[in-house]
Structure 1
Amino acid sequence: MSVVFFLLCGISVAKAQKKFARTYPAGDSVRLTLLNRTGMVTVEGWDRSEVRIEASMEAPAAVIEPQSLSGTIVVNLVRDNQGRGEVGNVNFDIHVPFHTMVDIETKIGNLSVSDITSGLVRAHISSEGDINLLNIGASNVSAENVMGDIFFDGEFQDGGIYRFSSVKGNISLRIPFNASFRVVATAPS
């Protein structure tokens, strides 16, 4: 009898998750701006001229209403769910052209960006979560969190600006052997 009970619980959990998927055409200059409340966000570059946004939502399901505004795709779950109180985690899996400017933020959750060669990659966590930036070739990179680790694996561009900040966490940078740069590092006292 208990085996049946556990099986039924598993079914109700699977039904509690909702899915979201939408695709947008992307021109030569595209920007993705995403503001999540809680959940994991993964952004990967690909060789298509489109932005593909997929999300799985835990109950109570959030409202997701992306906007496409003059080359910028905006996903703002804080605005879309204002006044709703509690909503469940929203986990995003997003594919964008390699040259997309990426600006993502969440309150709690992990952020991962890979295979981006645009002018901008910004990943910000206002509370807790890890940030992984892999195979990044952007000239302006910013990764900030309060609690959690930051990992960067990419190339430094001439004249580029790179900022990594964590109040309580490790910052690891994997830099090409022939890279030339100046480092300014501070630590809390």
Structure 2
Amino acid sequence: MLIGLLFQVFPVAAAEQIQKKFPVSPNASLLLHCRSGNVSIKGWDQNEIEIKANRASDAVDVAIVGEDQKVTVQTHLLRERLSPEEARVDFEIRVPRQATVRVESERGDIVIENVEGNVTVEGVSSGIRLSRLKGNVTARTLDGPIVIQFSEGYIKADSISGNVNFIQVNGPELVGTTNSGVIRYEGDFGLGGTYVLNNYSSPIYIVTSDRASFDLTARAVQGAIESNLTFSPIPLGSALRSSTPGKFLQGRFNSGKSTVKVTSYSGTIKLQGLRPATVGAR
């Protein structure tokens, strides 16, 4: 039977563990929308999407629609005014490594690992942890923290009040933005990319090793800049300068392969150098 002709719909009404498996193409899409609950999605070397779900009550319906190019999972509340615990559905999902993943969640931790397709995660109070990704990555929350680690690609992470952490993340472009959350980048700004870190009122921490190579422009409008890194003037451009001491810093670290732009309105920007073995260590 041709996989392309497969189309299945599984509405689940009883309060029980849900397990479904779909044969899919290597670059299939997974779309998940849930109100409350933890989500774990991992890539594997099989052309299948496997779904395991556990729900806290039968007041939540889980609708699963599967075909060879796309699998959609969505939770529906069967009663009004459910508490977050009553609306909770926890998911463990496996997808092909090349799959595209999109998750929308209001509450609960979201973990995605070992996926090489594009990943988009939107949460409200969800904590997001993304690890070992290689596609385009977009992560957004209202007040939940975001951690992206050991990943490469076009990366964008923003939160209103949640902290944003990058650990050993490299790519052609990385943008991290938050209003009142802390931003932390630990790594070497690799792949000759452009790295932009912006926030309004909280600290921005940069921890890098002596093997990093980047041109830096840092501005703290009403905050301050602290650094123990040694910068040299940028050739064919503005000389190393600080128009207002502790407010503006521009210079080259090593050969300047990547571009780093850091801005905070009233927060402190702190740049720290460590030995390569200690960067990203916990």
Normalising by the smaller structure, the TM-score range is: 0.7 to 0.9
The equivalent of 1:181 in structure 2 is 193
Identity %: 22
The runs of 5 or more residues in structure 1 that have no matched partner are: 1-15
Q: What is the letter of the counterpart of residue 193 of structure 2?
A: F
Q: Does 1:145 align with 2:146?
A: no
The equivalent of 2:39 in structure 1 is 41
* Larger helix fraction of residues: 1
CA contact (8 A) 2:21 2:49 kept: yes
Cα displacement (A) at 1:53:
0.4
Q: Quick check: 166-175 or 106-115, which moved more?
A: 166-175
Distance 1:74 1:98 in 2: 17
Distance 2:106 2:133 in 1: 23
Q: Does 1:136 align with 2:133?
A: yes
CA contact (8 A) 2:28 2:69 kept: yes
CA contact (8 A) 1:137 1:154 kept: no
Q: What is the letter of the counterpart of residue 172 of structure 1?
A: N
Distance 1:98 1:61 in 2: 33
The equivalent of 1:167 in structure 2 is 160
Q: Does 1:107 align with 2:106?
A: yes
Give the number of the structure whose alpha-carbon radius of gyration is greater.
2
CA contact (8 A) 1:155 1:179 kept: no
Cα displacement (A) at 1:69:
4.4
Q: What is the letter of the counterpart of residue 66 of structure 2?
A: S
User: Structure 2 vs 1, CA of residues 34 and 186 (structure 1 numbering), >3 Å: closer, same or farther?
Assistant: same
CA contact (8 A) 2:25 2:68 kept: no
How many residues get paired? 165
Deviation digits for residues 39-73 of structure 1, max 9, x if unmatched? Answer: 11110011111000001100244211211246111
Distance 1:180 1:57 in 2: 45
Q: Does 1:93 align with 2:92?
A: yes
The equivalent of 2:116 in structure 1 is 117
Q: What is the letter of the counterpart of residue 57 of structure 1?
A: R
Distance 2:34 2:73 in 1: 8
Q: Does 1:154 align with 2:150?
A: yes
Q: CA RMSD in A?
A: 2.0
Distance 1:68 1:23 in 2: 9
Distance 1:135 1:163 in 2: 15
CA contact (8 A) 1:115 1:135 kept: yes
Q: Quick check: 167-176 or 50-59, which moved more?
A: 167-176
The TM-score with structure 2 as length reference comes to 0.55
Residue pairs, 1:15-26, within 5 angstroms: 18-26=16-24
Distance 1:179 1:18 in 2: 47
CA contact (8 A) 1:35 1:76 kept: yes
The equivalent of 2:79 in structure 1 is 84
CA contact (8 A) 1:60 1:88 kept: no
Distance 2:141 2:58 in 1: 26
* Larger strand fraction of residues: 2
Q: What is the letter of the counterpart of residue 96 of structure 1?
A: V
